[in-house]
């Protein structure tokens, strides 16, 4: 309550209809005092409680009360499938639940690689409900410890990325090491040997019943280390070998119902006493300016030799020849233009080696095979 007092002072009488200056001041004083008293006596405005606040949801018209939040959980986010053959698949179902008070919206699902297949039952989980996430891990061609992840991205503010994992080990019922053979540069009179080991798992034993090479330039023999489990193949070249590149396969037959035949690819190059690396010069057709290429000329027997001359297909190509520390030469070719008329033309290298007097290196325009 506001207390106030008024002091009145007598004024001389005025003419009828005339109000004195003192009376007017007295009346304004009463007015402002009354307004001040009412302002202090008015009860304070009531502020809204936090529970009555409203939060807008982006892109929609749904009102979300403070405290009503989604909460995505998975009681078993990791599944251990143990040890399985790499001929198997791993199916598993993860269960996701919403323990919050607002809808869970699943925006997207990410996985480690194409070996994981994911099927989602629903992309919206209402409060108190759950959905199934069906996952299939394809083990084909895999070996050793495996750890693959599936990531669920949602609107859960505390855990926007929930990771589901599949952990275990994949084993091959039959292991072939190496699974391919590269012979490199073979001399035409070489009789080199490569080995291939074959191992069956004890849970799925098997026997090698035969082996061979799909080329008369190679032969093979088999050794049994432990019957039903481990075998070894020896593959060797049979000279004289034909000069040039080669690609062939080693075939292996077994009594395994899942793996009746195995294949080991082989490739390489047969060279003479003198050879070049690379044996072809590739120029990309996408390049519109002159380029430079290097060529190594080497001796298969590490014998000394001399390059007499190098003849490029076009006279405007620059050729520089330098010796190397390993009884060979480095040929640098400049001002090479990837023109269509260069495709198939050859660089000719003349040496003093009686067994390899002339080497030819073709030019190719485009992308090398396998690129």
Same domain, 265 and 178: yes
Q: How confident is the model at residue 283, as a pLDDT?
A: 94
Q: How confident is the model at residue 351, as a pLDDT?
A: 96
Same domain, 210 and 264: yes
Residue 315 placed within a domain? yes
| Of the residues 171, 196, 215, the one at which a domain ends | 171
Rounded to 5°, angle at Cα 17 from 14 and 20: 45
Same domain, 140 and 200: no
Same domain, 153 and 239: no
Q: How confident is the model at residue 143, as a pLDDT?
A: 83
Same domain, 179 and 263: yes
Q: How confident is the model at residue 48, as a pLDDT?
A: 42
Q: How confident is the model at residue 27, as a pLDDT?
A: 56
Same domain, 291 and 321: yes
Residue 48 placed within a domain? no
| Of the residues 171, 189, 220, the one at which a domain ends | 171
Residue 23 placed within a domain? no
Residue 95 placed within a domain? yes
Same domain, 336 and 278: yes
* Domain count along the chain: 3
Q: How confident is the model at residue 34, as a pLDDT?
A: 52
Domain range spanning residue 328?
274-365
Q: How confident is the model at residue 286, as a pLDDT?
A: 86
Q: How confident is the model at residue 66, as a pLDDT?
A: 47
Residue 33 placed within a domain? no
| Of the residues 271, 305, 327, the one at which a domain ends | 271
Q: How confident is the model at residue 19, as a pLDDT?
A: 46
Same domain, 267 and 192: yes
Same domain, 82 and 158: yes
Q: What is the CATH number of the domain that holds 296?
A: 2.60.40.10
Same domain, 183 and 160: no
Residue 22 placed within a domain? no
Q: How confident is the model at residue 32, as a pLDDT?
A: 52
Residue 29 placed within a domain? no
Q: Is the distance from CB of 167 to CB of 78 less than 8 angstroms?
A: yes
Same domain, 188 and 237: yes
Low-confidence ranges of the chain (pLDDT < 50): 1-19, 21, 23, 26, 33, 41-64, 66
Same domain, 88 and 167: yes
Residue 20 placed within a domain? no
């Amino acid at each position: 309550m506001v207390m106030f007092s008024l002091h009145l002072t007598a004024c001389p009488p005025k003419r009828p209809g005339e109000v004195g200056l003192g009376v007017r001041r007295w009346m304004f004083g009463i007015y402002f005092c009354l307004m001040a008293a009412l302002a202090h006596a008015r009860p304070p405005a009531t502020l809204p409680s936090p529970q009555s606040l409203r939060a807008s949801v982006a892109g929609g018209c749904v009102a979300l009360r403070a405290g009503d939040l989604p909460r995505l959980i998975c009681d078993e986010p990791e599944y251990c499938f143990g040890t399985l053959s790499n001929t198997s698949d791993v199916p598993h179902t993860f269960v996701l639940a919403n323990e919050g008070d607002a809808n869970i919206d699943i925006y997207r699902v990410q996985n480690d690689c194409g070996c994981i297949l994911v099927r989602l039952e629903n992309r919206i989980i209402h409060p108190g409900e759950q959905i199934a996430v069906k996952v299939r891990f394809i083990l084909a061609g895999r070996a050793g410890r495996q750890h693959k992840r599936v990531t669920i991205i949602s609107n859960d503010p505390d855990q926007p990325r929930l990771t589901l994992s599949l952990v275990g080990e994949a084993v091959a019922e039959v292991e072939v090491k190496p699974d391919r053979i590269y012979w490199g540069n073979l001399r035409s009179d070489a009789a080199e040997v490569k080995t291939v080991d074959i191992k069956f798992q004890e849970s799925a034993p098997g026997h090698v019943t035969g082996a061979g090479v799909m080329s008369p330039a190679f032969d093979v023999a088999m050794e049994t280390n432990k019957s039903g489990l481990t075998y070894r193949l020896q593959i060797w070249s049979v000279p004289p070998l034909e000069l040039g590149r080669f690609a062939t396969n080693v075939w292996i037959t077994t009594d395994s119902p899942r793996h009746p035949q195995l294949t080991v690819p082989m490739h390489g190059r047969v060279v003479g006493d003198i050879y070049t690396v690379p044996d072809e010069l590739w120029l990309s057709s996408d390049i519109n300016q002159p380029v430079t290429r290097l060529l190594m000329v080497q001796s298969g027997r590490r014998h000394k030799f001399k390059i007499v001359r190098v003849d490029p297909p076009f006279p405007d190509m620059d050729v520089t020849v330098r010796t190397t520390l390993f009884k060979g030469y480095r040929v640098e070719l400049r001002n090479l233009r990837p023109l269509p008329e260069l495709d198939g033309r050859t660089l000719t290298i003349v040496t003093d080696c009686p067994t390899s007097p002339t080497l030819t290196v073709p030019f190719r325009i485009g992308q090398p095979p396998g690129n």
